[in-house]
């Protein structure tokens, strides 16, 4: 599979006619949505996938803007040959309302005053963000999305889509998130907001045209950033290494590299993000609670999509048990849901970094891989051959599993390098004495998942692929399957 | 065991003659140490235990100050009949230098200027704190401490004591801490410091007599507080409950109880703590690194104390694996070390809250419990008795294990309620047919630990206690052992 880039892309802007009623009861009269698309919408408009971004994300999910060095924020999984394969799918990503990356937010001009909204911007919710996206999807003429997908706050939006618009979504990909914000989430968000609001430059949100509250916003980002990493990844990345010094400074300048890194992250963030947007978006996250009458089961009653729920082993902000809670509630409604944990030390940030595992899991969910996509041509040996001939065949072809055939191709057994070595030890000479006769086989149109399960069940590492007549047409090895993950890295 | 209070206590102050040389190379000329003591120092001065406090602690560890409603910060484990039993031990707790609770720190008067030090106070280390404590212990005439004990930063000081003064400490009790600060610890501390230093009122540390940086310090405390709790304990304590409202406010006032709680914690903290002390103490924590030439094994080479290392299952700030690293390094030096995990949802704060488990673990380490302390008098039955008689004896005495004796008291077996029920099922009539003959026994001066291990090994819940002649003198049951933990709660 060749994995490429979608190339140079542009952000589009769509003005929602009729404005947007909000969950608070207020209404936003003028709403612009910034969005990008990659790939082509097919004739029956059935191949659209909506990507949802996290707190500080934007519409630029893949490819490059003219002149940019760095690609969009989820370029690792979007593009030709990648999980969100732009040769097959029409991929859409829009900036959330309340943000500061082109969609209407607190830094936008309030049409009724001609000045930036500031705190006059109404408080919005994850539901409001999704309702705005629905209007964009309607505008694009798409009745049903092939999938919605997102990590962190993007995962919340994806869940909200499946709940609010059950007929408009076929698949939900929900990564590193929760179905409701817990007090620890709220607590970290509140600290970030306090940091911004304690900065005198914040001036009750009215700082546009003046000095923005950069110290407060940087502090908020520093706290947030710690929660996105794991203790282990920080230990590997920074340890206790000092920054540009040989010994402790014994003062309050920067001593450690990790301090310098956080300060840099904070400083870079204030250049690209609006402090008021940070307040509004964290508030939307706090308010997010899919539970209905206190029950997540009840929240998912009307859901029609199939789900892939993914968590990260080292994510302590949205730990695996919070994903499992989603899986349990979906399952209890009879919803078709797969669950996977990304094995990673990168903590919450893994959903932006672990390209190999993400591509494998997501592409398999969107477009299940079949045995024929991965099987290799099989070297076989006739059952009347000698053990020496079998050993030579293995050596020549560099394989350790040989299907044994009779009558010109029908499978009658399998012999492995281990069998050969057993024959040497026991002075056997006939293939017949060492080959396994009850050989487990697979068909070319079975899914890889089924094949992998068969291998695990029988504790074997290769499966001959046979046709209806029992003829060997290929071989599937665990090496072949694991290479699939490798290809996506 | 009756557990009481040490009653009304007072803080004492000791002035270190000759000042204190610091690890930075600087020197503090005038140093006062605030301390409290509970219990009596014995004649040979061998029963002194030094308690070390955490970041925001003080010398007031137990009892009450005149007029106070709340006791000292570790009253749950210090007092007559508690783990740090003031009927047996002379317990000392001193406020760290750099603090603001009576010992010399940045808010103290700088003798060379007549004004508070502020940032002119030298940066201090955990080693400096311990060196100051050593001078206090010398002043009290104590050559060797029976034990040092502390949690969190108190645990760091306890470790430092055992390493820096190996001949002066017999036992180290190290709770919920690490042998070196990791980048995640440093990152959280740095955020706290940035919050304080970003507050305009901080004024480069020169705020005494003016408005202190309360917003910054409150913010630092809020971040810290989140790290002391677990996600699960916050979920149980706050859930998503709103604060004095029925529905979301859709504004930036306080919505959730957890926000209100954190704000309260921040607000209360600034009334009792000095912002500059927060800077100095977190810096001392960051600098803490016991490793020698990169090796913790090497750091513990000269250690002579015995150790009890305790971690908390839900502590994500100082997780169990960081305690286990200490245990491994001590073990590899042949040091006698016990390790235990407190089973708790309270996170890091559990070392201040889990009185039952702490008292059990610590008192057993300081003063190992023996079988005779817990054994009950045994009801026995003669081996010539009928099954019916055995059943009646069980019923009358409310026990489910009866040692079977012969020749007027010598143990010959044991019979349980389960055996009796078996006899009924199989229509046996003789005790002989159902009693267990290879009975596992224990002696009264064996430790409870050994007894518990024996029970686990043989999967039994009662052990007859026998004397040298094999006479049954009591019985030890798992109920009796578990009640010990209950008593401490």
The C-alpha of B316 sits at a distance from chain A's nearest C-alpha, in angstroms, of 9
**Number of folded domains in chain B?**
2
**Cβ burial A396-413 (10 Å sphere, 16+ → b, else e):** eeebbbbbbbeeebebbb
**Are A476 and A465 in contact, with CB atoms under 8 Å apart?**
yes
Is B348 among the residues known to form the active site?
yes
Q: Give the nearest partner residue to B186 out of A180, A193, A258, using CB atoms.
A: A258
Number of helices followed by number of strands (H, E) in chain B? 17, 19
Identified catalytic residue from A53, A60, A348, A401? A348
The answer to whether the annotation marks A349 as part of a ligand binding site is yes
Q: What are the structure tokens assigned to B178, written together?
A: 């690490």
Q: Which residues pair with B370 in a beta bridge?
A: B447
> Residues B379, B393: contact at Cβ < 8 Å?
yes
Say yes or no to pLDDT of A46 above 60.
Answer: yes
CA distances B93 to A88, B22, B305, Å, are 70, 21, 19
CB B190 to CB A123 under 8 A? no
**Residues B273-290: tens digit of each pLDDT:** 999 999 999 999 999 999
Question: Radius of gyration of chain A from Cα atoms?
Answer: 27
Specify whether the CB–CB gap between A174 and A320 falls below 8 A: no
**Given the structure tokens 């026998």, which residue do they identify?**
B466
Question: Which residues on adjacent β-strands are paired with residue B37?
Answer: B92
Bridge partners of residue B162, in order along the sequence: none
Q: What per-residue confidence (pLDDT) applies to B1? A: 40
A387: enclosing H helix or E strand:
helix A387-397
Kindly state the tokens that stand for B461.
């819940």
Which of the following is catalytic: A128, A199, A255, A315?
A: A315
Instruction: Give the pLDDT score at B484.
Output: 67
Q: Identify whether the C-beta of residue A90 lies closer than 8 Å to the C-beta of residue A42.
A: yes
Q: Which residues contact B321 (CB under 8 A, 6 or more apart)?
A: none
Average pLDDT over residues B350-358: 96
Is residue B228 in some structural domain?
no
A45 CB-contact burial (10 Å; exposed 0-12 / middle 13-18 / buried 19+): middle
B347 and B425 fall within a common domain: no
Query: Longest Cα pair distance anywhere in chain B, in angstroms?
Result: 95
Q: Are A272 and A73 in contact (CB under 8 A)?
A: no
Kindly state whether residues B348 and B449 are assigned to the same domain. no
Nearest-angstrom CA–CA distance, A308 and A338: 5
- Chain B residues within an 8 Å CB radius of A218: 194
Answer whether residue B407 shows pLDDT above 90. Answer: no
- Residue B453 and residue B460: Cα distance in Å, rounded? 10
Task: Find chain B residues with C-beta within 8 A of A123's C-beta.
Answer: 248, 250-252
Q: Do A219 and B235 touch (CB under 8 A)?
A: no
CA distance A250 to chain B (A): 5
Nearest to B219 among A195, A234, A286 (CB): A195
pLDDT, mean over chain A: 94
In a domain, A269, yes or no: no
Contact check, Cβ <8 Å, B122/A250: yes
Q: Mean of the pLDDT values across residues A117-128?
A: 98
Q: Is B152 a catalytic residue?
A: yes
Task: Name every chain B residue with its beta carbon within 8 A of the beta carbon of A223.
Answer: 191, 223
Nearest Cα residue in chain B from A241: B183
Range of A30-44, A367-381, B385-399 with top mean pLDDT: A30-44
Q: What confidence tier does A487 reach under pLDDT thresholds 50, 70, 90?
A: low
pLDDT above 90 (res B326): yes
Which of A252, A263, A284 to substitute to test the interface with B, most B CBs within 10 Å? A252
Residue B272 backbone phi and psi in degrees, to 5: -120, 5
Residue with tokens 């971004």: A53
More confident residue, A407 or B473: B473
Backbone angles phi, psi at B32, to 5 degrees: -110, 140
Shared domain check, B166 and B96? yes
Its domain, for residue A481, covers 372-487
Q: Could you report the per-residue pLDDT of A279-328, keeping only the tens digit for each?
A: 999 999 999 999 999 999 999 999 999 999 999 999 999 999 999 999 99
Q: How sure is the predictor about A423, in pLDDT bands with cuts at 50, 70 and 90?
A: confident
- Same domain flag for B174 and B307: yes
Domain assignment present for residue B399? The answer is: yes
Q: Give the SS3 label for residue A151.
A: strand
- What CATH number has the domain bearing residue B481? 3.10.580.10
Q: Say whether B256 and A286 touch across the interface (CB within 8 A).
A: yes
Residues B158 and B293 grouped into a single domain: yes
CB A458 within 8 A of CB A440: yes
Confirm whether A246 is domain-assigned: no
Chain centroid offset of residue B289 CA: 21
Rounded-to-integer distance, Cα A350 and Cα A348, Å: 5
- Number of A/B CB contacts below 8 angstroms equals 151
Burial code (b: 16+ CB inside 10 Å, e: under 16) for B160-186 equals bbbbbbeebbbbbbbbbbbbbbbbbbb
Out of A191, A251, A255, name the one closest to residue B219 (CB). A191
Yes or no, beta carbons of B190 and A231 under 8 Å apart = no
Q: At B107, list the tokens.
A: 């808010």
Q: Single out the residue in A339, A366, A393 at which a domain terminates.
A: A366
What string of DSSP letters covers B348-416? Answer: GGHHHH-HHHHHHHHHHHHS--BHHHH-BPPP-EETTSBHHHHHHHHHHHT-SEEEEEETTTEEEEEEE
| Residue closest to B310 by CA, chosen among B297, B326, B294, B295 | B326
CB contact under 8 A, B187 and A258: yes
Which of A187, A234, A283 has its CB closest to that of B187? Answer: A234
Residues sharing a CB contact under 8 Å with residue B254, sequence separation 6 or more, in sequence order: B243, B260, B263
Cβ–Cβ < 8 Å for B140, B36? no
Tell me what pLDDT residue B369 has. Answer: 78
Query: Is A320 a domain residue?
Result: yes
DSSP labels, A105-149: -TTSEETTTTEE-GGGSPP--HHHHHHHHHHHHHHTT-SSBSEEE
Give the distance from residue B229's alpha carbon to the nearest chain A alpha carbon, in angstroms: 9
**pLDDT value of position A389:** 86
Tell whether B475 and B427 lie within a shared domain: yes
Residue A239 lies in a domain: no
Quote the CA–CA distance of B424 and A186 in Å, as a whole number: 61
Domain end marker among A349, A366, A383:
A366
C-alpha distance from A419 to closest chain B C-alpha (Å): 42
pLDDT of residue B386 exceeding 60, the answer is yes
CA–CA dist B463, A47 (Å, integer): 71
Which residues in chain B have their CB less than 8 angstroms from residue A221's CB? Answer: none
Closest chain B residue to the Cα of A198, Cα to Cα: B215
E-strand spans in A217-305? none
Contacts of B256 in chain A (CB under 8 A): 183, 186, 190, 286
Nearest to A250 among B123, B183, B248 (CB): B123
Question: Are B327 and B381 part of one and the same domain?
Answer: no
Q: How far apart are CA A252 and CA B205, in angstroms?
A: 11
Which residue of B193, B199, B237 is in closest CB contact with A252?
B193
Q: Tokens 């029609």, residue?
A: A304
Residue B269 and residue B455: Cα distance in Å, rounded?
48
CA dist., res. A447 & res. A450, Å (int): 5
pLDDT-wise least confident of A410-414, B335-339, B422-426: B422-426
Nearest CA in chain B to A287: B248
Residues annotated in a binding site of B for substrate: 221, 349
CB distance B59 to B5 below 8 Å: no
pLDDT at position B74 is 98
Cα Rg of chain B, angstroms: 27
- DSSP-assigned states of every residue in A45-111: S--EEEEE--TT--S--SSB-TT-SS--TTTTTEETTSSEETTT-EEEEEPPTTSSSSS--TTSEET
Residue A484's pLDDT band (cuts 50, 70, 90): low
B/e letters for B30-56, b = 16+ CB within 10 Å, e = fewer, are ebbbbbbbbbebeeeeebbbbbbbbbb
Q: Mean pLDDT throughout B455-468? A: 89
> Which residues have C-beta within 8 Å of that of residue A156, sequence separation ≥ 6?
A126, A150, A177, A178, A285, A288
Active-site pick, B53, B60, B185, B348: B348
> Is residue B51 within a helix (H) or strand (E), and if so which, with residue range?
strand B48-52
Cross-chain CB nearest to B256 (options A186, A218, A235): A186
For residue A259, is it within any domain? no
Q: How far is CA B325 from CA B26, B313, B315, B328, in A?
A: 32, 15, 15, 5
> Based on the domain organization, do A343 and A446 belong to the same domain?
no
A184/B119 touch (CB, cutoff 8 Å), yes or no: no
Q: How far apart are CA B289 and CA B298, in angstroms?
A: 12
User: Could you give the CA distance from residue A23 to residue A35 in angstroms, rounded to a whole number?
Assistant: 23
Token pair 């006698």 is found at B336
Residues of chain A positioned with their CB less than 8 A from the CB of B123: 248, 250-252
Cβ pair A184:B250 closer than 8 A: no
Contact A243, B212 (CB under 8 A): no
**Mean pLDDT over the full length of chain B:** 94
Whether residues B283 and A319 touch (CB distance < 8 A) is answered with no
- Helix B214-228 / helix B275-287 crossing angle, nearest 10 deg: 40
Kindly identify which residue of chain A lies nearest to residue B283, measuring between CA atoms. Answer: A252
Same domain, A385 and A402: yes
The verdict on a CB contact (< 8 Å) between A235 and B182 is yes
Catalytic residue among B152, B181, B230, B314: B152
The reply to whether A341 falls in a domain is yes
Same domain, B297 and B428: no
Please identify which residue in the block is written with the tokens 């081996």: B383
Q: How far is it, in rounded angstroms, from Cα B455 to Cα B418?
A: 17
Report CB contact under 8 Å: A226, B187.
yes
Residues A415 and A284 in one domain: no
| B262 with A187: Cβ contact below 8 A | yes
**Of A138-142, A237-241, A245-249, B373-377, which range is least confident?**
B373-377
* B441 against B486, higher pLDDT: B441
Which chain A residues are closer than 8 Å to B263 by Cβ? 190, 194
pLDDT tens sequence across B123-151 = 999 999 999 999 999 999 999 999 999 99
| CATH code of the domain in which A322 resides | 3.40.50.1820
Which domain-ending residue is among B366, B398, B421? B366
My answer on whether A360 and A378 are in the same domain is no
């Amino acid at each position: 599979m060749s994995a490429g880039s979608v190339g140079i892309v542009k952000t589009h802007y769509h003005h929602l006619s009729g404005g947007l009623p909000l969950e608070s009861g207020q209404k936003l009269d003028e709403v612009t949505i910034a969005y990008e698309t990659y790939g082509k919408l097919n004739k029956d408009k059935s191949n659209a996938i909506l990507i949802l971004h996290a707190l500080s994300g934007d519409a630029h999910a893949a490819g490059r803007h003219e002149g940019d060095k760095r690609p969009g924020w989820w370029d690792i999984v979007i593009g030709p040959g990648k999980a969100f394969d732009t040769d097959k799918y029409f991929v859409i990503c829009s900036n959330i309302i309340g943000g500061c990356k082109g969609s209407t937010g607190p830094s936008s001009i309030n049409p009724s005053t001609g000045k930036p909204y500031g705190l006059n911007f109404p408080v919005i919710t994850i539901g409001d963000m999704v309702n705005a996206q629905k209007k964009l999807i309607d505008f694009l003429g798409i009745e049903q999305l092939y999938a919605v997908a997102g990590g962190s706050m993007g995962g919340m939006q994806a869940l909200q889509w499946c709940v609010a618009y059950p007929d408009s979504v076929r698949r939900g990909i929900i990564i590193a998130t929760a179905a409701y914000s817990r007090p620890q989430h709220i607590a970290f968000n509140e600290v970030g907001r306090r940091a911004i609001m304690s900065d005198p430059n914040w001036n009750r949100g009215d700082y546009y045209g003046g000095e923005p509250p950069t110290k407060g916003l940087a502090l908020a980002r520093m706290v947030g950033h710690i929660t996105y990493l794991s203790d282990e990844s920080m230990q590997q990345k920074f340890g206790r290494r000092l920054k540009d010094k040989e010994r402790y400074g014994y003062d309050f300048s920067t001593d450690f590299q990790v301090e310098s890194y956080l300060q840099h992250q904070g400083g870079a963030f204030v250049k690209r993000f609006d402090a008021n947007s940070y307040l509004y978006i964290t508030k939307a996250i706090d308010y997010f609670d899919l539970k209905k009458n206190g029950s997540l089961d009840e929240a998912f009653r009307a859901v029609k999509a199939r789900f892939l729920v993914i968590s990260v082993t080292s994510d302590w902000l949205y730990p695996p048990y919070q994903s499992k809670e989603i899986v349990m509630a979906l399952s209890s409604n009879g919803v078709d849901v797969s669950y996977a944990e990304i094995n990673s030390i990168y903590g919450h940030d893994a959903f932006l970094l672990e390209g190999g595992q993400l591509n494998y899991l997501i592409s398999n969910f969107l477009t299940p891989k079949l045995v024929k996509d991965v099987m290799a041509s099989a070297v076989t040996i006739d059952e009347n051959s000698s053990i020496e001939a079998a050993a030579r065949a293995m050596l020549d072809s560099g394989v350790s599993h040989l299907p044994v055939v009779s009558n010109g191709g029908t499978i009658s057994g399998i012999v492995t390098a281990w069998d050969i070595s057993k024959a040497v030890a026991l002075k056997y000479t006939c293939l017949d004495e060492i080959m396994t006769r009850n050989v487990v086989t697979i068909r070319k149109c079975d899914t890889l998942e089924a094949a992998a399960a068969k291998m695990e069940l029988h504790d074997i590492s290769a499966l001959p692929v046979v046709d209806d007549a029992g003829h060997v047409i290929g071989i599937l090895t665990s090496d072949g399957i694991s290479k699939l993950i490798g290809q996506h890295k």
